[in-house]
Structure 1
């Protein structure tokens, strides 16, 4: 009886915090890091520095994490420091350069000066106890909560997704550009957990890493890229429309706890519902540019399951 009780307590210790301390990190993750660093897609600068290896708890961590205090070679501040693996950081920098800044200049006439984003956090998906580990657990994901423009105007994902015309268009350009670079993109309307931020990651959804999840489906025509993915000639920046912004609740930030001092979030997150329901059966989908070249990595041993939302596996098209 005593042995059975001890075994039960041991099992609870493994599952209660959603981290199996004996689980090993998938080989493709370390291989992707090594390939990215070998190609010098990210190099240390004044604002990007190499940190010591993050090993655990369990499979959490990365071989060569980068600590980031600013993006865009120092031109874009971060509200809080980020810790990312090389592949995610390389794609985030490219996303900023080829989509976010051009979109800000197009719709507001000024660039983005600061980003409020979350990065590494060893925890289950959507902060749910017992869930599969989030890509944040491997420095392979970024959550964007808001952008601050050079003129001081703040665009939150929560308020701007259905905000002014310019804010809506800007955030949809950001979303479409993300879908061309990342394998998972979840924005308001995708499920009840992403009503206030845009989540992007480089998860493997199939052995070759070709399958994509990009939600919600949008009826939106990009002004940055034509339907075939070629950049459009830069239009004259539109004058910004300034309207009073309703008070927003504090942003739901990811923890930056890279060395596992607090392996799980204290938030339950189970009672939040999407404020913006997914659009139903749109006539056309957002035209996104074709995927850019990505870091090559060895195939995974077996197919990963599609990310699970509150409504079960999606039957929507996979990007």
Structure 2
């Protein structure tokens, strides 16, 4: 019985291996990969140090591998540690260094006031895209891709892509600056929200999506105004210029009438002062000439008749109410009323 179980298991694994090989047996290594890598190495774009060392060629399995791999333990000339050692080809390593210098570090200083000290990233792995068996080979299979899971700042604070993408305002701003900076350098950038496979990391690679290598994929589409320029310098905050203050318009004089100081009388009931009688008789004065003064004779005042002062009646003596008792009966009734 054990022999039957062992034989069945061996056949199952062998069949699965054949199936996987059959799905990828027609995939070939594109010529542009070796050409791009050779051109990058010819320009000496990678500076070898104790943190960046060249290793022997990786050939296989299948078409996986690279002509001149580099084993990297630190980036930024040794200033940024890598949580785990990565293996990259010349083109991807060159762009990763530029991305770190032009976007990642300026964004960290802008949003947190300190640089990034460590990056948790993954690189070379001969596998299908999204770790799906039988799928087209991932750019990780050629040392042409990088997965970023988290950033650690100089004070030890860790910004994870999974939590920070919807985290604090500073974390969101920092990761979106990093994301847009990657879109300017890499041909493929996938962040949380692009698909179900990239919910916890940012994937960047230099794949060719068309024969000329001009098409780019940058997902997801986000609404965000970057605060960093293309050179990594923070942009000046554009503040609207306040309008110039204009002088206040002249105000009409306040009409305060002596006969109505509190404005009780309606304006329609107020009549303009009448001109003198002489002016009404002779008409208005001609324009440009002043009217001659008019002399008025004082009218004689009639004597005021004074009425005699009223005479005050003499005070009457108080009545003696005790002389006659008050009757408690009404007229015509013999019994008193209570």
Structure (1/2) with the larger helix percentage? 2
Residues 1:17 and 1:123: Cα distance change in structure 2 (over 3 Å): farther
**Equivalent position to 1:207, from 206, 211, 218:** 211
Q: Name the SS for the 1:136 alignment partner.
A: helix
Alpha carbons 1:69, 1:78 under 8 Å: kept:
yes
Alpha carbons 2:102, 2:231 under 8 Å: kept:
no
Higher RCO (Cα < 8 Å, 6 or more apart):
1
1:153 aligns with 2:157: yes
1:51 aligns with 2:55: yes
Mapping for residues 197-236 of structure 1, pairs under 5 Å: 197-225=201-229, 229=230, 232-233=233-234
Q: Name the SS for the 2:218 alignment partner.
A: strand
1:86 aligns with 2:94: no
- Partner Cα separation in structure 1 for residue 147 and residue 54 of structure 2: 21
1:71 aligns with 2:75: yes
Alpha carbons 1:19, 1:133 under 8 Å: kept:
no
**Equivalent position to 1:180, from 177, 181, 184:** 184
Alpha carbons 2:59, 2:66 under 8 Å: kept:
yes
Residues 1:235 and 1:72: Cα distance change in structure 2 (over 3 Å): farther
**Equivalent position to 1:36, from 1, 18, 40:** 40
Structure index of larger Rg: 2
Q: CA deviation at 1:15?
A: 3.7
Q: CA deviation at 1:27?
A: 1.0
Alpha carbons 2:103, 2:232 under 8 Å: kept:
no
CA RMSD for the aligned pairs? 2.2
TM (norm. structure 2) is 0.64
Q: Name the SS for the 2:197 alignment partner.
A: coil
- Partner Cα separation in structure 1 for residue 24 and residue 115 of structure 2: 43
Q: CA deviation at 1:44?
A: 1.2
- Partner Cα separation in structure 2 for residue 75 and residue 153 of structure 1: 17
Q: CA deviation at 1:109?
A: 0.3
Residues 1:103 and 1:231: Cα distance change in structure 2 (over 3 Å): closer
Alpha carbons 2:110, 2:234 under 8 Å: kept:
no
- Partner Cα separation in structure 2 for residue 51 and residue 134 of structure 1: 21
Q: Name the SS for the 1:177 alignment partner.
A: helix
Q: Name the SS for the 2:108 alignment partner.
A: helix
Residues 1:235 and 1:110: Cα distance change in structure 2 (over 3 Å): farther
Residues 1:117 and 1:49: Cα distance change in structure 2 (over 3 Å): same
Residues 1:23 and 1:215: Cα distance change in structure 2 (over 3 Å): closer
**Equivalent position to 1:114, from 112, 115, 118:** 118
Q: Name the SS for the 1:222 alignment partner.
A: coil
Alpha carbons 1:18, 1:124 under 8 Å: kept:
no
Residues 1:233 and 1:147: Cα distance change in structure 2 (over 3 Å): closer
Mapping for residues 303-314 of structure 1, pairs under 5 Å: none
Q: Could you list the runs of 5+ residues in structure 2 that have no partner in the other structure?
A: 1-11, 238-338
1:143 aligns with 2:147: yes
Q: CA deviation at 1:19?
A: 7.1
Q: Deviations over 1:171-211 (max 9, x none)?
A: 00000000000000000000000000000000000000000
Q: CA deviation at 1:17?
A: 6.0
Residues 1:101 and 1:18: Cα distance change in structure 2 (over 3 Å): farther
Alpha carbons 1:33, 1:86 under 8 Å: kept:
yes
Match of 2:134 in 1: 130
TM (norm. structure 1) is 0.67
Q: Name the SS for the 1:188 alignment partner.
A: coil
- Partner Cα separation in structure 2 for residue 115 and residue 235 of structure 1: 29
Q: Deviations over 1:33-64 (max 9, x none)?
A: 10001111112111000011000000000000
Q: Could you list the runs of 5+ residues in structure 1 that have no partner in the other structure?
A: 1-7, 237-319
Alpha carbons 1:21, 1:57 under 8 Å: kept:
no
Match of 2:175 in 1: 171
